[in-house]
Amino acid sequence: MPGRLGLVRPGGLVHAAEGLDTGTFEGLLAEGEDRRLVGLVHPPDWANPSPPSRYDLLVLGGGTAGLVAALGGAALGARVALCERALLGGDCLVYGCVPSKALLRSAHLAHDVQEAAALGVETGDVVVDFAAVLERVRRLRADIAPHDAALRLREAGVDVHLGAARFLAPDAVECAGQTLRFRRALLATGGQARIPDIPGLQTAGYLTHATVFGLTRAPRRLAVIGGGPVGCELAQGLARLGLEVTLLTESSRLLPRDDPEASDALARALAAEVQLWLDAPVTRVEKTAGGKVVHAQRHGEALRVEVDEILLATGRVPALEGLGLEAAGIRLDGAYPAVDDGLRTSNARVFAAGDVAGRWAFTHAADAMARLALQNALFFGKKRLSALHVPWCTYTHPEVAHVGLGAEEAYAAGKRVLTLTTEMADNDRAVVDEETEGFARIHADARTGRVLGATLVSRHAGESIGEAALAVRLGLRLPALADTIHPYPTQAEAWKKLGDAWNARRLTPGARALLKAVLSVQR
């Protein structure tokens, strides 16, 4: 029998706001590891440098895109300034990739130990110390922070200006009371949680990805609103840490940007661990003496769930408040700055990269976009955003990863597409690990076998999608995957199996007859 999952300090909730240095940084505690974090990425005693007459590159925002561009520009000999009003490292370090994956490590381990009896390992009851899990998250975040520290940037030749910035003119910005002029600028201010207009939500209160890691006690019952990557990851992770989780989304499926069958596979996995409500838009929220009540509608039926806390995972919007884009002549396309295929805005001096550019909200995409924008801005480059092949992964169990075109996109582009799929249940490593939920799928040009896109649903999809990403970027054909030798047994052998499937399709009756004739002559 699997072990029982229990929680240390299961009740109550302490909001980060009760321990915050009211200042300033959303979702952080005022002591301990968070104080160490702030000392690195927004030192309270930092003195902004005196600016030169003009910078070659001025970067607005110190998240992934801003850091990559600033450090890259300085390494290439440019005179670079970076302005950051909050925390260097941005969402990835403080609120996104780093803390969420640290939390998921504990969550998936708790689940594996709980299920260990099925593999012949008796463990007894599993007890999660929620406060210790979150303290570990904050410690690891502070451990990684030196990579993004203000001092490291300064030592690399970047002028770091901490403070709010706004455009004064097409070639000038004010930051913390100083005027900074530039030849080129990069807008890399990132994004922030989108707060839906749900009646009663503001009164009841809520958590976002920026505040959830400031918890010091576990809410017993949690509603997660939103079925994208953030909602799915945190819903499953927090459920595996012992919370009673309900996930609600107005969409008919999870992960709407992914392969529908991948969404279905993840829905089956999540439904075993959380209360999952699809096609269930939230209509209102009310605060009660005992907690909060979330009201939703599903196919005309009224739904009601009582919880202690609500976590919003309803998407992101660009962080553009107070930047004075009008003074710089930067036009918007909807909520985002309008950019061309080289990431140049309507102000020819200013480029945009990362979440604020609106194409992909991924750290690795921000890195790639920053490199592209840097070359185009400083060195007359002609790099194109449309030429990037950006993979992504949702780190649930199983993981869901994708790169390139989906079948519908390929058909819409006028391509003859062949789709090949192999189930993880047919993969020996997945079988012996008892991790057979999922599949590998490749979309290829039906005539040449050139790989156009791929989806992988497996425990280690994020680690294995890189092979398909390389195939898409280099225009490799499926026989190249068949000829690639993989260690046995590994789940990544699924790519080789798809290459073999392509080769098997080419062995037509006519080809078999020809080979038979050749062999008969050689006898």
Q: Where are the domains of the chain?
A: 16-44+56-192+318-387, 219-315, 398-506
In this prediction, residue 142 carries a pLDDT of 97
Residue type, 307: V
Strand 172-175 and strand 178-187: the pairing is antiparallel
Query: Distance between the two ends of the chain, CA-based, in angstroms?
Result: 61
pLDDT at 18: 34
Assess contact for 276 and 414: CB atoms under 8 A: no
Looking at domain 219-315, does it have CATH number 3.50.50.60?
yes
Contact 379, 245 (CB under 8 A): no
* CATH code assigned to 16-44+56-192+318-387: 3.50.50.60
Reduced to 3 states, what is the DSSP secondary structure of residue 369? Answer: helix
The reply to whether 219-315 shares the fold of 16-44+56-192+318-387 is yes
Strand positions, DSSP E, 319-396 = 332-333, 336-337, 350-352, 392-394
Nearest to 2 by CA among 121, 114, 126, 164: 114
Which burial class, exposed, middle or buried, applies to 18 when counting CB atoms under 10 A from its CB (0-12, 13-18, 19+)?
A: exposed
Mark the ranges of the chain whose per-residue pLDDT is less than 50.
Answer: 1-3, 9-23
Contact yes or no for 389/404 (Cβ under 8 A): yes
**What pLDDT score was predicted for residue 519?**
67
Q: What distance in Å separates the CA atoms of residue 281 and residue 276, rounded to the nearest whole number?
A: 12
Sign of CA dihedral 94, 100, 103, 105: negative
Amino acid at 303: L
- pLDDT for the residue 508: 66
- Name residues whose C-beta falls within 8 Å of residue 475's C-beta, 6 or more positions apart in sequence: 450, 451
Q: Using CA atoms, how far apart are residues 424 and 422, in angstroms rounded to an integer?
A: 7
CA distances for 312 relative to 153, 195, 208, 437, 498, angstroms: 33, 7, 5, 28, 39
CATH of 398-506, one of 1.10.540.10, 3.30.390.30, 3.30.70.260, 3.20.20.80: 3.30.390.30
What the block records as the tokens of 173 is 């910005």
Q: Let me know: does 142 contact 33? Beta carbons within 8 Å.
A: yes
Q: Would you state the pLDDT for residue 510?
A: 67
Enumerate the H helices of 188-228 as residue ranges.
201-204
* Cβ 337 vs Cβ 356: under 8 Å: yes
